[in-house]
Every structure is written in C-alpha cells, then in structure tokens.
Chain A
C-alpha cells in the first residue's frame, strides 16, 4: 500500500487538522471529528451532514457560507457515532432548529436518528432528510433501498441556500426534499480503492473490466463489462437515469463526479458526451459541475447526476456558496 499517511489509525484526525489549518474560516472540534463554520449567524436553520470519511471533499469540504454549518466525520467508510453527531448538532444550532442531511446507509440512519433523539432531549429542534439518488440498485450491501451518492452535494447546496436566505426549518426541509425527489445519479468504477486500515483492495477488477453501478464504498453494482469508449459509458449511465425519472423537455443541473483517481481530462470528456446526449433528448443544461465532489478514496471512475430544475431550485442553485469544496458566485 502506497499512501501519504503517517498511521492508518490517525488518518481522519490528521486530515481534519489539515482542513482547519488550510481553511481558517473553519473550526475543527477534535475528539468529535466535527468541522464547523466560524461565521455563525443567529437564528438561522443549522445544516449538518456527515458520514464515513474517504469521500472528500464530502462532507467537511462543504461547510461554509451557503451550504453546511457542520460536518461530522466517522472513520473511513463507517458512520460517525451519536456523541459526535450530537456535537455537530449543538455546534450548528443557532436557535432556529437543525436539519440533518443523511445519505441512505443503514449505519448512518441509525446513528443520525439516535442523535436526533438525544439532541431533542436537550431541547434542540431537529429534523432530517435522507438522500437516495443512486439508481443502480434498489437494495445494497449497506442500505435498505437506494444509496445516497453524489446527488447529496446538490441537497447541501439547495438546502444551504434556503437556510442562508432565512428559510424556516420546515421550508429548508421542503427545499431539501424537493431536491431529493428531482435528483438521480449513476456511477461506474474502473479500479478499486484501498482502505488505509486494511491495506489491500476490497475487490478486484480485471485489466479490461469495469463495474457499472458500483457504490462509493466498493459495494457491488449492476454488471461487469469490458472497457468501452467514454461515449458508450456516458450512454449507459445517462440511459439508466432517464429510464428512472422523467426529465423530458426540462432544464437540469449536471454533475460529473470523479471517484478519486480519474483525471479531470476524462471527466470533461464525459461531460462533453453527456451534454450532447442530453441535447439530443431536448434536455437543457442550466448549470454544470465537473470535478471530484463525492469520492471513494482513490477509486477510479465517475458518476453522473442530473437534477431537474424549476424556478425555485434555479434560484437556490445560483445563490452564493463559499466552501472549500464548492464555490458558486451569485449571478
């Protein structure tokens, strides 16, 4: 295993120390593995997300103006425990309640729900939404129902804007739910990732093998295939998404998300193909995001996410965001 680490047991803590040092506008609450915003408003709905580490910049990289107030990190690919999440909720609370954005994995759901119960006992109003955008499989290794993947970043963006504009807890939740209803994603992997604590890949793919629909923890997807052109892969991913939800004649936000070790060159090649495919189908791209947004350590591959937009979602998507992982300038 070749990795730029000191000790597999310390990767999360040392990464979060690095994030705090690199981004002075953020605070690291060591021991709780929480990253929070320094510029805390009062009476704003707090937004908290989190999950296993290894998906950077998710979620700590989305803490900042227009997106999250706090992100809670678990160990690599493992949910954070309730004591950590409760700390995140307390940090994000400024009197108007807190919304939790949870990716749909059994461990995350249990730990976040438990944290909600504890925070409510402390008198903090807490609600949550569950993101399940991955159309690849219905039930998976770590989830009952669809998995939450890169589409989660859209939920952070939209809900974050709504909260920043002064929306109430129920309004922010409604904006998050609307995003969840309108976003679908589909991914593919070309090479596995290695967990620092394990030291070897959790699965193998042959030299000429690709897995369609693989999850962001290396969970099995839909089928194996051989290496094809970017155009052919773009078709497979987009077709699966369009078969799941009606995007006809709509405007969309597109995300081409790299899983960790796929060069931007290839992500832009994929975007070029995806945009053409959408145009052929009379689907107009309103805004695009190409980069590494929800990774799986050094896994190679990408996912495509489509968010169907209406006027409200466009306004919220265009609202200013200033975080290490995503910056949007207001128009």
Chain B
C-alpha cells in the first residue's frame, strides 16, 4: 500500500465511523462518558480535511502527521493512545515508499505495543486493544502460513470482528466501566467497536 492507498483507506474509515454515530454513542453511554464517537469522529474528519496534504507525503510522515493531529484533535485518553500508536508505528516505515504485507504486520505490532504500554493495559481488559491484539496475532499466523493476500485480508477482518465481539463477555479493567457493578459484562466496548471498523477496512484494503 502506498500513500494514496492509505489515504483512500482512511477516507473509507472516516465514512464508516461517521455513519455509526448512534450505535457507538449508545455503547459508550452504557459503559463510558458517551463522548467516544464525538472524539474519534472529530479525529477522522480532521484526516479527511488533510486529504490533499497527506496524499503527497512519504508513508512515515503521513502516519506521523495523522498521529499528531489525532492526538491534539481527539484529546483525552483515546487521543493520546491513537496518537502515540501512530507516531511510534510511523517509525517502522522510515524510508519506505510502500507498506508490504510484512511491514503492515510490523506496523500493527508496534502500534499495539505502544497502546499497551501507554495505556498500561493488556489484552482482555475490555478495551480498544482487544481487536488490535486479535488482528496482530491472526496477521502473524497468516504470514507464517504464507496465506495469499486475499486470505490474509479476510483473516484480518475476521479477527478484528472476533476481538470486538469478545469484549462483550469481558470484565472491564480500565476506564469508567470498571465502576459498574456488572463491570460492563454483556456490553461491547465502544473503543473496541471503532477499532474494529478501522481494522476491518484495513483488511479489505490490504488484499487489493
């Protein structure tokens, strides 16, 4: 994937997130502050605004710009978690014209590590990390098995969805949901849902 492909992917994600306002807000009103959609949507709309600038940039600079802008526009915890993840992951693409399948995995793995260490969270804590963790694992397995691009893309989308659905049964260990008596059990985490949209669309674009 080159800069143009990545920007196309971001535009599709922005459209998807914008269309899920009611669902995400509903999820987040149960477990969170109710502002996750507003914040993440603001971040992606900012990316849409930067489309022309981003198309011309080398990959690592593109992701760095996305990271910086998400960090300041989204704000709060999501802003710094995504921002830091994009910034650290952008370093894996220094000097690269395009992101191949191997690099794509390295990128996501670095982003996952950044989110886990910044958020002091682990897989299973019922957060946005769960779908990402599930994808990094499936993606790695897929590379080992030398899956075709198409199979790999499908595996990524499947793992993203499963990682998101798995948060339903989890006991919340981070964020506002931890205060509920039921610890959020029975509800999908809103942050995991928006992470799923992004990774599902990545899966669809990676196999192009």
Contacts and interface: CB of A to CB of B under 8 A. Distances in A.
Interface string A52-90: 000000000000000000000011001111111000000
- Most chain B CB within 10 A, of A81, A113, A140, A141, is at A81
A84 B178 CA distance: 29
Q: Is the interface of B mostly helix, strand, loop or mixed?
A: helix
A153 B43 CA distance: 34
A142 B174 CA distance: 9
Contacts of B80: 79, 81-82, 107, 110-111, 114
Q: Is the interface of A mostly helix, strand, loop or mixed?
A: mixed
Interface string B68-85: 100110111101110110
Interface in A83-112: 83-84, 106-107, 110-111
Nearest to B39: A78
Contact of B76 (A78, A113, A139, A144): A78
Contacts of B174: 106, 144
A220 interface: yes
B120 A79 contact: no
B176 interface: yes
Interface residues of B, number: 20
B118 interface: yes
A139 B79 CA distance: 23
B72 A81 contact: yes
Interface residues of A, number: 22
A81 B179 contact: no
B120 A81 contact: no
Contacts of B77: 79, 106-107, 110
Contacts of A79: 75-77, 80
B176 A78 contact: no
A10 B10 CA distance: 29
Interface of A: 74-75, 78-84, 106-107, 110-111, 113-114, 139-142, 144, 219-220
12 contacts: A74-B75, A79-B77, A81-B71, A83-B68, A83-B71, A84-B72, A110-B81, A114-B71, A114-B84, A139-B178, A141-B179, A144-B174
